[in-house]
Structure 1
Amino acid sequence: MRNNSDESATFDAEDVEQFISTPEGLRAVLTVIDRLGPEGWQLPAVEVLMRVVARRYTPVARAWRRPPEDAAQAAWLAMRGRSARTAEDPWGVVTRAVELSMQAEAYGERLLISPEKARRPKHRPGETPVRAGEHEEFLYDVISAGGAEGAGDGIDRLVATIAAFLVVAGWNHHDARWAVEYVASRTADLGSQDSARDVLRRDGAIRLRLGLRQRDWTRLLGLLIGSRVGAAPAGQLGVLERVLLGDTLADLLTDAELMDLARRIRPEARDG
């Protein structure tokens, strides 16, 4: 004979999971937890909530080669904040927080600084440390996460943000987006900044299609990918990495030196 109470509990858990998976459901559960205070996190629904969190964000953690537990912790911290309860899309707020946390941890480890410092460019060191024998990994860590929820949207935002920056600097919109998409894709394929820089610098067909002189094409690669460790400026992060780390279009536009470089190397500019 079946235990009807067990069947009911299982059905209820599945029902709660479906409810929590919606924006309205997550908002309602987080609101109840907030009203109850610390005891709210002891509710049976919280166990179901964390199962949903684990399923959603384990792929994001793996994309950045972080433990799934780190993603769950980042989601839990985000869900405790007011913005997750009041946002139109609570899951969107949590997802963005997890993405930024995983990015900051990955880049903090790479740059040998804390994740908090890795989030903002003003706190990053001028030179990127490199461990002995380390083969630098770059955009392919993100682009290869094609199966992760929202990964495609993330790459679209990356390209759109940098293309918009170039357009403000005077670039033609089509040229700007095409150049960013091409360099990001080739960098992901090649697997490291140095490989991408060396191969793309010799890519004469693409340079000519954009109408750039060799010097300006090399400068564009430096702007997008960053400079080689030991070069001047030493180990400077490219805008592809900066946006992956959380920089916004406003952050890029307020960087006067970056804006000046983007203006000087645009295809129409021929004044030196």
Structure 2
Amino acid sequence: MTTTTTTATDPAGEDYTSGEGLRALLNRLHDAGSGAWEHDPVAAELMSYAAEKYAPLARKHGLDPWEAVSAAFDVMRTRAAREADDPWGVVTHAVRITCIAEERGQGLLCSVHQARRPHVSCFHDPERLSERENTLSDYHPAFHVTDPHHHDNEPDADVGESASVTGAVEDAILLFMLLGWPEGTARPAIEHVCEALARIGSRTGTYEALRRDRHARALLDVPAASWTVLLRVLLGRATPGYGATGEGRGILLRLLIGEGLPVLLGDDGLVATISHTAPHTRRRGA
């Protein structure tokens, strides 16, 4: 019994699936002149075979298979492919590099030629600011504000009792009570924020964690608008440009660095913000 094996050959018997067969075909097309690739039927079959061969590689990099064929066509016409010990190996390597460059070029919004250069391809793909849930200032280190007293281990002697954590918390509670917040609301809410701050260790991280904590807000019985204001004035703004201001530092830090209640009560903007969002004031105006 005779077994026959089917190979990708043209009617003339050229087997371009093997290295030797591909070399012979490339040499013949090269010797035939400039119009051979356009009119030779075997060349068309070779391109169809290349499209099927490199389709998985193209899909891996998010490309159309014929984009990989275009890269294969470019390298097949070179002297390096015709004279290589493994022509298909040379073609495959070139197609892989081109697919990677095509993918990087699309991601970096630049040409493939630029994407091949290491000093360009080392960058990450551009991102729209709207693609992230948090604002740019929340995660980019260039916009982080360092508390000037963050690394102080010992309280300053001039600060006295008001510089202690307990004293700062009590002064913050008293400030809210003086500006119309009920003690039953202000005390548990502020103590909850301080406990979270001690656990998380970052004012920005604490703000981001608590502003989404609807369960805690419901247990504390604080309206959404009042809760947002309480977090912002206690912890301060992380927005660039506010770091050295009272609004950027927040009430807790201002108390810790020696600003007492009289100073805070003299801040008209702070007083208006806290008093206008007092929970009982909102209910009375509803």
The answer to which structure, 1 or 2, has the higher relative contact order (CA under 8 A, 6+ apart) is 1
TM range (shorter): 0.3 to 0.5
TM-score (norm 1): 0.43
TM-score (norm 2): 0.41
Considering only CA atoms, is the larger Rg found in Structure 1 or Structure 2?
2
